[in-house]
Amino acid sequence: MKILNAGQIRALDAYTIKNEPISSADLMERASQAFVNWFINCFDVSKSVSIFCGKGNNGGDGLAIARLLHAKGFQVRVFVIEYTDKESDDFKQNLERLAGNLQVQSIYESHAMPELHSDQIIIDALLGSGLSRPVAGLLGDVIEHVNGATGIIISIDIASGLYVDKPNEKSDTIVKPDHTVTFQLPKLAFMMPQNAEFTGDWHVVDIGLDKRFIEETLSPYYYTDKPAGEALTKKRGKFSHKGTFGHALILAGRYGKMGAAVLSSRACLRSGAGLLTVHVPECGYEILQISLPEAMLSIDPNQRNITELPELSSYSAIGIGPGIGQEPLTVRVLDELLEQISTPLIVDADGLNILSKHPDLIDKLPEKTILSPHPKEFQRLAGDSANEFERLELARNFAKKHNVVIILKGAYTAVILTNGDVHFNSTGNAGMATGGSGDVLTGILTALLAQKYTPEDAAIFGVYQHGLAGDRAAERKTKTAMIASDIIENLGW
Ligand X SMILES: Nc1ncnc2c1ncn2[C@@H]1O[C@H](COP(=O)(O)OP(=O)(O)O)[C@@H](O)[C@H]1O
Structural element, H or E, at residue 380: helix 375-382
Nearest distance, CB of residue 487 and ligand X, angstroms: 8
The answer to whether 346 and 315 have CB atoms below 8 angstroms apart is no
25-33, 352-360, 427-435, 482-490 -> range binding ligand NPW (CB under 6 A): 25-33
Q: What's the N-to-C CA distance of the chain in angstroms? A: 21
Q: Answer with the entry of ligand X, ligand NPW, K ion, none that 131 interacts with (C-beta below 5 to 8 A by kind).
A: ligand NPW
d(CA 370, CA 366): 10
Would you count residue 160 as binding K ion (CB under 5 A)?
A: yes
Partner from K ion, ligand NPW, ligand X, none contacting 413, C-beta within 5 to 8 A by type: ligand X
Q: Which of 57, 316, 413, 446 binds ligand X (CB under 6 A)?
A: 413
Helix intervals (H) in 403-479: 437-450, 455-477
Q: Which is nearer to K ion, 90 or 486 (CB)?
A: 90
Residue 61 binds K ion (CB under 5 A): no
What does the longest C-alpha to C-alpha distance in the chain come to?
86
Figure out which of the listed residues 14, 71, 196, 433 binds ligand X, where binding follows CB under 6 A.
433
130 in a known ligand binding site: yes
Is 484 in contact with 435 (CB distance < 8 Å)?
yes
Half-sphere exposure of 398 (CA within 13 A, CB side): 30
Determine contact, residues 67/97, Cβ cutoff 8 Å: yes
Residue span binding ligand X (CB under 6 A) among the ranges 112-120, 179-187, 201-209, 431-439: 431-439
Contact characters 203-232, ligand NPW, x per CB under 6 A = ----x-x-----------------------
| 157 has binding-site annotation | yes
Return the residues of window 80-109 that contact ligand NPW according to CB under 6 A. Answer: 86, 88
Q: What share of the chain is helix, strand, coil (3-state, %, to 5)?
A: 45, 15, 40
Bridge-based pairing state of the strands 221-224 and 296-299? unpaired
**Residue 108 labeled ligand binder:** no
- Applying CB under 5 A, which of residues 32, 50, 155, 277 lies at the interface with K ion? 155
Report the distance separating Cα 252 and Cα 141, nearest Å. 55
Residue 260 annotated as binding site? yes
Three-state secondary-structure class, residue 383 = coil
Least distance from ligand NPW to the Cβ atom of residue 468, Å: 30
The Cα 492–Cα 270 span in angstroms is 7
Q: Contacting K ion (CB under 5 A), which of 61, 90, 124, 471?
A: 124
Q: Segment near K ion (CB under 5 A), from 39-47, 156-164, 278-286, 292-300?
A: 156-164
**Residues 157-186: x where in contact with ligand NPW by CB under 6 A, - otherwise, as a string:** x-------------------------x---
Which residues have CB under 8 Å from 411's CB, separation 6+? 193, 196, 428, 430
DSSP secondary structure code for residue 2 in this structure: B
* Residues contributing to the site for ligand X (CB under 6 A): 374, 409-411, 413, 428-430, 432-433, 435-439, 441, 466
